[in-house]
């Protein structure tokens, strides 16, 4: 049996056929342990860390960072018995240039791409079902020289790079105010830590156009932020270039496909309702002051989510799916919350939200939003949604006409809460007011049902205590 086993890109979620290699966490020659995270991959739904399926020594990395890989293709080769001596001829690795290219990832010492420079605080936890948490600590090693023809793994050189020569301008120039200069073309790899690379990728900045001010000319976080803040000082595109082309992939690609499919499949209808939510805002303040809620993050979204769950219980047909020859009514609510992230719009959902207490719902919302902002939402949390809430109020927008997520028949848009003059008990007073927008699938929900459902959400927000007493 061969000692070297090829690890193929696994199926990371329902219907996903490919993923992008974001960052290698190990390099050729590394000794790894079972379940150790080895690579970060972005799919159309999330960015996940993939753990090692076997312990051993990395003999080959098949794809460089930034490469799209189909599910089932090999991504890494592992010698599962490195202590058994030299590899048989059939198992000899074929090193690739990208697997040996060095980048700086921690401290002053450059190491191979994506190698962890030290243990992560608290360790790492595997994100795929069936794998346990990481317990091993990755070790840093010296920078490797350019690859030479090899016949065995032992022939892969691991010699320190020559000491860097100081740039004449930095070594001899007197301290003067920095002058903007065009970056010189780079012939070798760009030195930058993985967090800096991620920041540049998120901001759309090409690291190859920047001049590094870190150790050995590496690019720092400050260099990237300076490039964003002062576009005239550091060129981020060719002179005279008037257009920019951004590849459509990952989360953005899936979102676009889903929105087009939904918009031209389900006949959308949108209704609006302006509501006095003063009592709901006062109820939130009372919750914050309650001794059992002092450490809980409470926002108006909690009241809207609770209102939607109560209204769905009263009108279960809204929580359904059009299945061609039949309508599937769900007697459970997987409550989706639209979240804007650096990788695009995602809609993770809270499973069985109808069974949660108000406190449990608040905790679930906090965890969902926090995980989404960190870009760590697992694919399983973005499937199976039954009803969605999108909050545009956080951007200062009053309301909108949201598009249904595929497979759902209703989505609620929650706008900004503003102080406005309002007729209250026969007098004009300053009240806290918001506007709700409900889009629904007219094949399932007619105007009467949609109006009653939206009316009940509004009634709950106007008087949450009275509504709970009346409808419980």
208 lies in some domain: yes
Mean pLDDT of the chain: 78
Give me the domain span that covers residue 219: 191-236
Do 197 and 79 fall into the same domain? no
> Does 301 score more than 50 pLDDT?
yes
- Are residues 442 and 321 part of one domain? yes
**Which residues share a beta bridge with 51?**
37
**Which residues are tagged catalytic?**
442
Please enumerate in sequence order all residues whose Cβ is within 8 A of that of 190, keeping only pairs 6 or more positions apart, or say none.
103, 207, 208, 212, 219
For residue 34, pLDDT beyond 80 = yes
**50 vs 43, 57, 73, 189, CA distance in Å?**
12, 16, 14, 25
pLDDT band at 465 (very low <50, low <70, confident <90, very high): very high
CATH number, position 223:
4.10.320.10
pLDDT digits (tens, 9 = 90+) for 190-224: 787 777 787 777 677 778 778 888 877 788 888 88
- pLDDT average, residue stretch 97-103: 38
* Range in 202-206, 229-233, 282-286 the model is least confident about: 229-233
| Predicted local confidence at residue 145, as pLDDT | 42
pLDDT digits 0-9 by tens, 305-351: 999 999 999 999 999 999 988 999 999 999 999 988 877 788 999 99
Is 154 a residue whose pLDDT tops 50? Answer: no
Into how many domains does the chain fold? 3
Q: Does 211 lie in the same domain as 74?
A: no
pLDDT tier, 96 (very low <50, low <70, confident <90, very high otherwise): very low
- Among 236, 261, 291, identify where a domain stops: 236
| 213 in a structural domain | yes
Write the CB contacts of 90 (distance below 8 Å, at least 6 apart in sequence): 2
Same domain, residue pair 335 and 359: yes
Give the pLDDT score at 373. Answer: 82
Closest CA to 186 of 220, 221, 210, 165: 210
pLDDT of residue 90: 60
What's the pLDDT tens digit per position in 439-455? Answer: 999 999 999 999 999 99
**CATH number for position 139:** 2.40.50.100
314, 460 Cβ separation under 8 angstroms: no
């Amino acid at each position: 049996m061969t000692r070297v086993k090829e690890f193929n890109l696994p199926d990371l979620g329902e219907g996903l056929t490919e993923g992008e290699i974001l960052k290698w966490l190990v390099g050729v020659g590394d000794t790894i342990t079972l379940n150790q995270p080895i690579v970060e991959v972005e799919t159309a739904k999330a960015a996940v860390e993939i753990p090692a399926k076997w312990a051993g020594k990395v003999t080959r990395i098949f794809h460089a960072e930034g490469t799209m890989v189909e599910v089932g293709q090999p991504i890494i080769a592992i010698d599962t018995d490195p202590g058994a001596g030299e590899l048989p001829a059939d198992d000899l690795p074929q090193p690739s240039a990208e697997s040996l290219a060095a980048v700086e990832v921690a401290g002053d010492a450059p190491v191979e791409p994506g190698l962890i420079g030290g243990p992560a605080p608290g360790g790492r936890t595997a994100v795929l079902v069936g794998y346990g948490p990481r317990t091993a600590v990755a070790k840093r090693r010296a920078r490797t020289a350019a690859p030479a023809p090899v016949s065995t793994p032992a022939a892969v050189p691991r010699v320190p790079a020559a000491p860097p020569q100081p740039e004449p301008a930095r070594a001899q120039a007197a301290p003067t105010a920095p002058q903007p200069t065009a970056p010189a073309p780079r012939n070798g790899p760009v030195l930058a830590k993985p967090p800096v690379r991620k920041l540049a990728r998120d901001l759309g900045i090409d690291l190859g156009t920047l001049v590094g001010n870190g150790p050995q000319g590496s690019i720092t976080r400050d260099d990237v932020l300076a490039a964003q803040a002062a576009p005239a000082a550091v060129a981020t595109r060719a002179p005279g270039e008037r257009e920019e082309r951004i590849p459509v992939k990952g989360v953005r690609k899936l979102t676009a496909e889903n929105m087009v499919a939904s918009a031209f499949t389900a006949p959308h209808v949108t209704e609006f309702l302006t509501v006095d939510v003063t009592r709901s805002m006062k109820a939130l303040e009372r919750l914050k002051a309650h001794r059992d809620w002092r450490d809980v993050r409470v926002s108006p979204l909690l009241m809207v989510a609770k209102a939607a769950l109560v209204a769905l219980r009263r009108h279960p047909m809204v929580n359904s799916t059009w299945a061609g020859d039949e309508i599937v009514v769900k007697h459970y609510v997987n409550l989706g919350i639209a979240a804007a992230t650096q990788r695009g719009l995602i809609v993770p959902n809270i499973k069985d939200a109808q069974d949660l207490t108000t406190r449990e719902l608040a905790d679930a919302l906090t965890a969902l939003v926090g995980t989404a902002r960190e870009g760590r939402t697992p694919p399983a949390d973005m499937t199976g949604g039954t009803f969605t809430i999108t909050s545009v109020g956080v951007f200062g927008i009053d309301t909108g006409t949201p598009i249904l997520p595929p497979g759902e028949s209703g989505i609620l848009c929650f706008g900004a809460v503003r102080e406005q003059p309002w007729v209250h008990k026969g007098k004009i007073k300053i009240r806290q007011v918001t506007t709700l927008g409900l889009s629904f699938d007219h094949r399932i929900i007619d105007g009467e049902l949609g109006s009653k459902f939206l009316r009940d959400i509004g009634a709950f927000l106007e008087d949450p205590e009275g509504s709970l007493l009346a409808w419980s």
